[in-house]
Amino acid sequence: MKLEVYADAAAARGRFVMAVSGGRTSWLMLRALAAEDVPWARAHVAQVDERLAPRGHPDRHLDALHEHLLDHTPMRAAQIAVMPVESSDPIAAAARYARVLADLAGSPPVLDLVHLALGADGRTASLIPDDPVLDVTDRDVAVTGIHEGRRRMTLTYPILDRARNFLWLVSGSDKTAMLARLRDGDRSIPAARVRAAHALAVSDRMTAGEPGPRY
C-alpha cells in the first residue's frame, strides 16, 4: 500500500482517517510508518477494536498505540480516536464512538484505510466466530459477548465495507489455513465476509507454510 494513499486523502478531503488493529505485528507496522514522510498534521487514527478493560490494563491496545506511533510522530493525542471502553454503558458508548467516526469521516463514515489482522479462528477485528456481532447491519460500532474473559468494542461489517483501502497483515504458522480461506473468499470465516475491494495482504513465509521470513 503506497504512502500516496495518505497524501491523496489529505489533499482531497483535508485529512486522512485510518483505523488500526492491535497485536505485535501491528505495532511493528506502526513503528515503521512513524518513520515515513506522512502528513501527520492531517492524520487521524481510530481503533478497529478494543477490549473492555480499564485504562492502562495490559489487555488494552491503546498504550501500544501511543508507544509505537504517537510518541514517534508530531501527532497530538487528540488525533487518536479512543474507543470509550471504560464506560459503564458500553452499548451507548459504542453509539458515541460511531458519532465520533462520522465527525471525522463523513456520514456515513468512510475510512481511508483500515488495517486488519487475521486470527487463527478466522476472526478479524473483534468479529469473532458465532458471536451475534457478526449479524449487526444497522450500526458501525458494536459490542461483542464475552470472549477470552472480555467483551470487546469493534467496528462492524457496514463501516468496514465502506472503507476505501485495506491492509491485511498476517503473521504466524497458525494462520496458514485461515489465510488460504481468506484468499479464497470463504465466507464461513468472519474475515472473508469483509468486502475488501481495494486490499493488500502481507504475510510472511511461516504463514505461507515456508521456512524463513519474506515480506
Q: pLDDT tens digits for 180-211?
A: 999 899 999 999 999 877 888 787 765 655 54
Per-residue pLDDT, averaged over 121-150, amounts to 96
pLDDT at 13: 78
Q: Is the peptide bond before 108 cis (omega within 30 degrees of 0)?
A: yes
CA distance 53 to 81: 17
Residue that has been written with the C-alpha cell 465502506 in this structure: 162
Q: pLDDT tens digits for 56-84?
A: 898 998 988 889 999 999 999 999 999 99
Paired residues of 167 in beta bridges: 115, 200
Q: What is the pTM of this model?
A: 0.89
Per-residue pLDDT, averaged over 132-154, amounts to 97
Residues of the chain above pLDDT 70, percent: 91
- The answer to which of 25-39, 111-125, 178-192 has the lowest mean pLDDT is 25-39
Q: Is 212 a residue whose pLDDT tops 60?
A: no
Q: Is 120 a residue whose pLDDT tops 50?
A: yes
Pair type for strands 141-143 and 152-155: antiparallel
Joined together, the cell numbers standing for residue 126 give 473483534
Residues of the chain above pLDDT 90, percent: 59
Average pLDDT along the chain: 88
CA distance 155 to 3: 24
| Domains, in order of start, for the chain | 4-203 (3.40.50.1360)
